[in-house]
Amino acid sequence: MHHSIFSSVVCLICSGHYIIFFCFLFSSNRRLPSLWQSFKFYISSARFLLLLFYCTVMMQRSLRLCSKSLFWRDFPHARLVVLNRESALNAMNMEMLKEMRRAYIQEPHPKGEACLFVLKGMGTKSFCAGGDVVSITKEKETAEEFFYREYQLNYHILTMPNTQVSLWNGYVMGGGVGVSVHGRYRVASERAVFAMPETAIGLFPDVGASWFLPRLKIPGVGLYLGLTGARLKGADLVHAGLATHYVPSASFEELEGRLCEVENALDVEACLQQFAVKDLPPFTLENDRKTLKDIFALREELTIQDIFGALSANGSNFAQATIELLKKMSPTSLCLCLEMLKRGEFLSDPAHAFSMDYTAAMRSCANSDFSEGVRALLVDKTK
């Protein structure tokens, strides 16, 4: 980039001097303007060249940002990180993971540990719709590197001293959950749509889900979300404990600006409270809380067969709809998800959850359920 800018400057300066010199000779031969007028003409031309150079630099910078899957902008006490694959719903690919590592680890903000991270997705349709699993299933080596980088980044965000605020607008799924749910603050708008849909493609809820799903506020809701891939929206995310604040999407731009101006991480909570809705709409699954607790609350002896049996015996509309969801999922993935969440409930160190994720992910990649699920659901769209 520096070379291209330098070339542009040289071309502009050289061409500018030729133009000015030609105009000066032309005017001198005809004795029209005075020397002072020629000098003023030179100055105005120089200003024009500087303006043209500035526009060239800004245009090249904009093109560079548009071509990046992720970019960031630094403020005195904050770093705004933008997931920049809007046409792909900001899905996580290898380039994005590498750029996030640069932003979070390799190229630290001048404030170091005092820096506030603000994470958002480009556009309003999606924060991040998950990982680019289509490319992952093509080569085993790619899958190994992708999952390793992803879980390493998730764990870093969970354990780093920096405060992170994630702005959930639109889809928040899979890999998008991993880079945000482990941060201190998650702000959901009415457009936020959360899901962990991995069991539908022969995978399992990963990115540390065995750590955070068993620890949600509502008993049973974590296992329910993990098994069914069901979606929670808007204020429901605060009720469940997935989001920390609920802010209307119309206020997101102003909130983002205020967060980037915060001078102390201790002031972030006060800033969020100024925008957050205090009186939340009721939880949409309020009438099914007892069913969630009775059927999906984690216990050592629980099996997938037990869950199907209890749902059939329940007979409610919610139970019947849940049965239909579970029938669409990979049986292997359902069993794996249940086992991992049962183990995750009693873990004392989240590092073990990510280690378990990586082992399970490598075995899932060797299982035909994963590649077949991706092909059927995302490539051929026959599922």
Query: Rounded CA gap, 75 and 259, in Å?
Result: 10
Beta strands, E only, the chain: 70-74, 78-83, 116-121, 126-128, 164-168, 171-173, 185-188, 193-195, 232-233, 245-246
**Residue 89 DSSP SS3:** coil
Query: How crowded is residue 25: how many other Cβ atoms within 10 Å of its Cβ?
Result: 11
CA 132 to CA 374: how far, in whole Å?
10
Show the tokens assigned to 249: 């999407």
Assigned token pair, 185: 């603050």
Residues 99, 132, 206, 288: which is the catalytic one? 206
Answer yes or no: 74 catalytic.
no
**What burial letters (b/e) apply to 320-348, b meaning 16+ CB within 10 Å?**
eebeebbeebbebbbbbbbbbbbebbeee
Cβ atoms 314, 295 nearer than 8 A: yes
Which of the following is catalytic: 198, 236, 288, 357?
A: 198
Is 254 tagged catalytic? Answer: no
Instruction: Give the CA distances from residue 191 to residues 82, 109, 194, 214, in Å, rounded to whole numbers and listed in that order.
Output: 18, 31, 10, 25
Burial of 270 (0-12, 13-18, 19+ CB in 10 A): exposed
- Catalytic: which of 16, 130, 175, 176? 175
81, HSE (Cβ side, Cα atoms, 13 Å): 26
What phi and psi, each to the nearest 5 degrees, are found at residue 368? -65, -20
Contacts of 92 (CB under 8 A, 6+ apart): 83, 128, 130, 131, 132, 150, 174, 175, 176, 179
Specify whether 315 is catalytic: no
Q: Give the integer Cα–Cα distance in Å for 141 and 148.
A: 11
Beta bridge partners of residue 220, listed in sequence order: none
Distances from the Cα of 164 to the Cαs of 77, 141, 327, in angstroms?
12, 31, 37
Asked about 372 being catalytic, the answer comes back as: no
Looking at the annotation, which residues are catalytic?
Answer: 131, 175, 198, 206
